[in-house]
Structure 1
């Protein structure tokens, strides 16, 4: 049973208003990072874990911009920095990546193999299932889901802490429902995401006064409109137009048209609102107030949206990361002002790749958009022509394209399935854009890999995100540089999802006041985060709970894994 929400004290509401994150000029308002010299880290567990995911924040972006981070990121850089973190698996999408961050296990155990998968025999016209959808609810569709954590097979850190002590508060916020749900898990006190014109929550819960206040603040901001966001001086080198079909990317500055939520949701201002909502949640739930550790998960989604729309190497991404640096600075300053003893981990659900049009200009002529021939319907037509087999119900094949998972249609006989699979595998192996092809039977026979993720073979990467209950019958991996978009358009010019290191490598950074910093280049995994935080708060779980290992995040002789 969840503890009742405490009443919001008026001084705290006033403070939350004063620390609003919705200003367009964040970079000019945020205080600089604190000095490196601080008191020694407390021996007692922190009262609040702040788990931050920056969606599509690749290790390459981190390396490119870290010298310019001076506010929120700047503070974290004083902590334990692991620049070679890995989302080790092949399914480098939002839902699988977020599912690893606080469960400590790969997607093969979380069951979250993609943002969407197919169930060809499901009793509805759309055979696609969204990763946080309750598809048994007749009102639910992948595009308008009834949101539920039901598909997540593993407990999160918040789930385990609440099992140990129900007084733990487990809460999450993001612009994306799947990010908030995957990081918080099943046993939650508050989970919010941005839908339409404001933050919302599960169908069986009501939004609270804190949510209403933030939605009102967002509405006022959108109604008023705003000019372009400021461009830091160091962004000059990437501030130029690149042509993609009949439009350009590389020079957009995120003007906020009055009354238009679509422009608000396109850029950094929604990250600012997410940070604002996080602090309102801390106040409303009373997080970090007692000796029972709480978990606040915050996923900032806009780096992903900017990356998809404009790629990684234009002025848009430069502005986005500068604004996010300021938003993080305000978040940490607000927690400091409340006197909360908190520890932070920041990582990402996956990396990303730039638009092929710009990559072609910048020394990578092999980069290209994926061929439409690798999408499900085109593959089905080719296989049907080769074998003479058509689908007895629905389609012959589902999936393909950027996802990599291909599902055989329902109603095929055993012999037909064998024939279709063999023809499909041969067709894919002959395609010059395909690097590797595996059948479900091949993957089932393998153990989930261990060891340094940078050394994993292709099939090991695929196995780490393979779940025999949900993954495809055939899985294809495209070659390096093939971007999983067949027809780019405004708002969709670049993506992720490949098994290559530009999509797998992400930074992992830990910080707590007084902790001795360190820079550790050894390759580590996002599944190491949960056991590391568990050790920090004294949570002991049986062997085998996690796929990852505890990382000693104190650069001094102290060992945070030995607590």
Structure 2
């Protein structure tokens, strides 16, 4: 073989080797962004489609990959649980966050998911920063990214709600920031992360941009007559702000803020999402995210959508206006990312922590079943049952999140059989109006459910922390006032949420296959060529990759 031919083949070999290497180990994005929209139903993408611009939701749908049949696969569908599950790739049965608040059967009191008395507030002298992720028992994808880079690269969580900022970025985050309302109106953090606020955060707080947003009444973005996707503005299914006679537009925020905990009112209006976007941009600049040789991770949660949904319901003019305004905030954010990070330098996903049901009283008005369960009335009913069967009304320690916690100490003192007590209360509960299914802890431990609502119940059951008796209400049966709405069930109105991937490494398209929320974390891990979160039970969504 001639020397020239040998050189030619060597060059071809080296080029092919490089191409193969690039194919299997593509260059990673400089920044990964996880966006969670609190209480976003999937149908908000389709209901308001004609009014969205081209740069927000439609940009993701037209250029990213949308999962049209994505669901939460556990009960309960609450904010803290959703944020934990998205980023850990597993369910409450493994990651340990079983609610926003839940009854601690060891301390015999209700606890909050991120409270931590061992920490201090960083940013002011209040108590709003005594928080940490210590109750999350698994790692998140953000943790795994930091570990894979020998703790290089930054990981930051941002949300108006503390739990929504803290849980996504896990245990090794450089920072998590949330908004302290009331009389303060400041972004704060915890001593878990740092000893003092970075200069850029202090500078942002001093600008008092929140005041700018609270000087303007909340009116509709467009002519309210064009909001044909929503029910009438004046109705009997929406709650008012304190000091307001009717839950109708315009909402005079400058006048209402004083009677609605001052700065905290920003949480309950669309401006809260705009304010969050402002802070996100400041964080990207202040922390130089996406500018190093390492991949950074940014978690963003838009919380105001949840407050609006709870107060006004999913069919309201207010929720429609909130999403039309959020679409503009997303457009602004994406344009900012293009400029600061580069169009092909970041990957993001957008999803929700849960959805929500239509207001049950509204459903009843149009002849669709809906119901309200009153906790005190229900527990009195059960206590009367235990008095008849066991001679005492003191066997139930707590009823919350549709779970019954029994007083095991009392049961032992009275020398009662624990299983008999469970069965008696379960048999009584199933007869109560509005209760659809009942399962004991023994049922959860001794059976393996493979589909349906019982599978979701089992995925949400944590042997160490959950209650002794689990309840599933009828569809659209909630524990809530008759005005406004909530979430928490395993029904599709609470579980069906958007999941859209966009950016570097993601192809354009959509899928009607059923996927679960826990599939996000292993998919992003695979994109980054890192190990899955250590409790992961999700699977890689192969069809999204370019």
Q: Same fold (TM over 0.5)?
A: yes
- Once the two structures are TM-superposed, the CA of residue 121 in structure 1 deviates from its matched residue by 4.0
The separation in 2 between residues aligned to 1:540 and 1:399, in whole angstroms, is 39
Runs of 5+ consecutive residues of structure 2 not aligned to the other structure: 1-24, 122-126
Match for residue 242 of structure 1? 235
Residue 461 (str. 1) matches residue 456 (str. 2):
yes
The separation in 2 between residues aligned to 1:172 and 1:137, in whole angstroms, is 18
Matching of residues 40-59 of structure 1 within 5 Å? 43-59=26-42
RMSD (Å), alpha carbons: 2.8
Match for residue 518 of structure 2? 527
8 Å contact kept, 1:129–1:135: no
Matching of residues 354-373 of structure 1 within 5 Å? 354-364=358-368, 366-372=369-375
- Once the two structures are TM-superposed, the CA of residue 69 in structure 1 deviates from its matched residue by 2.4
8 Å contact kept, 1:250–1:314: no
- Once the two structures are TM-superposed, the CA of residue 63 in structure 1 deviates from its matched residue by 2.9
How many residue pairs are counted as aligned between the two chains?
Answer: 492
- Once the two structures are TM-superposed, the CA of residue 135 in structure 1 deviates from its matched residue by 6.3
Match for residue 66 of structure 1? 49
Match for residue 321 of structure 1? 323
Runs of 5+ consecutive residues of structure 1 not aligned to the other structure: 1-41, 450-455
The 1:237/1:548 distance shift into structure 2, 3 A limit, reads closer
The separation in 2 between residues aligned to 1:354 and 1:448, in whole angstroms, is 28
Q: Which has the larger radius of gyration?
A: 2
8 Å contact kept, 1:254–1:267: no
The 1:553/1:164 distance shift into structure 2, 3 A limit, reads same
Match for residue 139 of structure 2? 155
- Once the two structures are TM-superposed, the CA of residue 60 in structure 1 deviates from its matched residue by 2.7
8 Å contact kept, 2:347–2:505: no
8 Å contact kept, 2:396–2:404: no
The separation in 1 between residues aligned to 2:387 and 2:519, in whole angstroms, is 45
Given candidates 133, 147, 163, the residue that maps to 2:115 is 133
Match for residue 21 of structure 2? none
The separation in 2 between residues aligned to 1:471 and 1:408, in whole angstroms, is 11
The separation in 2 between residues aligned to 1:194 and 1:147, in whole angstroms, is 13
SS at match of 1:495: coil
The 1:309/1:72 distance shift into structure 2, 3 A limit, reads same
Match for residue 202 of structure 1? 190
8 Å contact kept, 1:109–1:467: yes
Match for residue 285 of structure 1? 287
The separation in 2 between residues aligned to 1:75 and 1:246, in whole angstroms, is 34
8 Å contact kept, 2:45–2:57: no
Match for residue 251 of structure 1? 248
- Once the two structures are TM-superposed, the CA of residue 408 in structure 1 deviates from its matched residue by 1.0
The separation in 1 between residues aligned to 2:290 and 2:472, in whole angstroms, is 44
Residue 342 (str. 1) matches residue 346 (str. 2):
yes
- Once the two structures are TM-superposed, the CA of residue 232 in structure 1 deviates from its matched residue by 2.8
The separation in 2 between residues aligned to 1:443 and 1:187, in whole angstroms, is 33
Residue 170 (str. 1) matches residue 155 (str. 2):
yes
Matching of residues 92-491 of structure 1 within 5 Å? 92-122=77-107, 127-134=109-116, 146-165=130-149, 166-196=151-181, 197-204=185-192, 205=194, 206-218=196-208, 221=211, 225-233=215-223, 234-238=226-230, 239-244=232-237, 251-257=248-254, 260-340=262-342, 341-364=345-368, 366-372=369-375, 375-376=378-379, 379-380=382-383, 382-384=385-387, 386-391=389-394, 396-400=396-400, 403-409=401-407, 411-414=409-412, 415-416=415-416, 417-447=418-448, 449=450, 456-485=451-480, 487-488=481-482
The separation in 2 between residues aligned to 1:292 and 1:52, in whole angstroms, is 20
Relative to the length of structure 1, the TM-score reads: 0.81
Match for residue 34 of structure 1? none
- Once the two structures are TM-superposed, the CA of residue 519 in structure 1 deviates from its matched residue by 1.2
Match for residue 503 of structure 2? 512
